[in-house]
């Protein structure tokens, strides 16, 4: 199973964004998405590949075969959603790749190598880590609200207050843990994770740059 350098993932993300915003050619788009899916497949996330490929195909099919015959009112509601989903998919593929193969620790190590200041790395990595926690939290709150049949008008309050309370507690606990591990130590921090570019990384970036060039030429 291939393992890319976290920095390659970030660079690919930028390239995926660039290609999608530059390109106007559907052939390039499909090949680009196909290659990214192949990369994701090689990196071992086969289930995500199937899901993303299905969504992408559905978007294309709906846009080119269903919309021309569908009633105008239906099209106006769904068109932007579908086109948007199609635009986001390449970035979503690279995003999935990053999520599945890169741990937050490795991401931090990569950003450190790029000399990103600590005052950005710390909140960013905490943020990324906290998303799953929010999702879980909302699930619990929903269950609790169902049990007590909260009125619709009270829902916002009943949702936001527990979330904020637990966020505050979490930030206190997390800080205590981080301070214990020396987050406030002013000296330069080292990392046990050794990251370096390999051949696969260079190939990925080269192909990405090639696609930017293709997108510019065939727009």
Q: Does 191 bind another protein (CB under 8 A)?
A: no
Smallest CA-to-CA distance from 211 within 18, 56, 40 is with 18
Q: How far is CA 43 from CA 75, 144, 171, 196, in A?
A: 37, 39, 34, 17
Smallest CA-to-CA distance from 142 within 123, 153, 155, 128 is with 155
| Shortest distance (Å) from residue 203 CB to another protein | 22
Distance CA 43, CA 35 (A): 12
Q: Where are the alpha helices (DSSP H) in the chain?
A: 6-22, 26-42, 46-61, 72-101, 104-113, 118-148, 155-180, 199-217
| Shortest distance (Å) from residue 193 CB to another protein | 20
Out of 22, 53, 66, 126, the only residue in the binding site for another protein (CB under 8 A) is 126
| Shortest distance (Å) from residue 122 CB to another protein | 4
In the 8-state DSSP scheme, what is residue 187?
Answer: S
Q: Does 119 bind another protein (CB under 8 A)?
A: yes
Out of 114, 115, 127, 151, the only residue in the binding site for another protein (CB under 8 A) is 127
Q: Does 25 bind another protein (CB under 8 A)?
A: no
Residues of the shown chain interacting with another protein in the complex, contacts defined by CB under 8 A: 13, 16-17, 20, 24, 63, 67, 72, 75-77, 79-81, 83-84, 87-88, 90-92, 95, 98, 117-120, 122-128, 130-131, 134, 156-157, 160-161, 163-165, 167-168, 170-172, 174-175, 178-179, 183-184
């Amino acid at each position: 199973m291939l393992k890319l350098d976290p920095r390659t993932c970030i660079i690919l993300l930028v390239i995926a964004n660039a290609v999608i915003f530059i390109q106007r050619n559907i052939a390039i788009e499909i090949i680009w998405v196909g290659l990214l899916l192949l990369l994701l497949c090689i990196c071992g996330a086969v289930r995500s590949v199937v899901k993303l490929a299905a969504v992408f195909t559905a978007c294309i099919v709906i846009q080119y075969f269903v919309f021309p015959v569908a009633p105008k009112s239906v099209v106006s509601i769904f068109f932007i959603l579908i086109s948007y989903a199609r635009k986001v998919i390449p970035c979503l593929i690279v995003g999935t790749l990053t999520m599945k193969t890169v741990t937050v620790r490795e991401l931090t190590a990569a950003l450190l190598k790029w000399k990103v200041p600590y005052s950005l790395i710390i909140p960013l990595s905490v943020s990324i880590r906290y998303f799953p926690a929010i999702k879980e939290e909302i699930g619990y709150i929903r269950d609790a609200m169902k049990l007590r049949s909260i009125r619709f008008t009270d829902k916002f309050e009943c949702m936001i207050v527990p979330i904020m309370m637990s966020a505050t507690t979490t930030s206190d606990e997390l800080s205590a843990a981080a301070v214990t591990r020396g987050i406030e130590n002013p000296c330069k921090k080292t990392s046990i994770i050794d990251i370096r570019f390999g051949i696969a990384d260079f190939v990925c970036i080269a192909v990405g740059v090639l696609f930017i060039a293709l997108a510019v030429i065939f727009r």
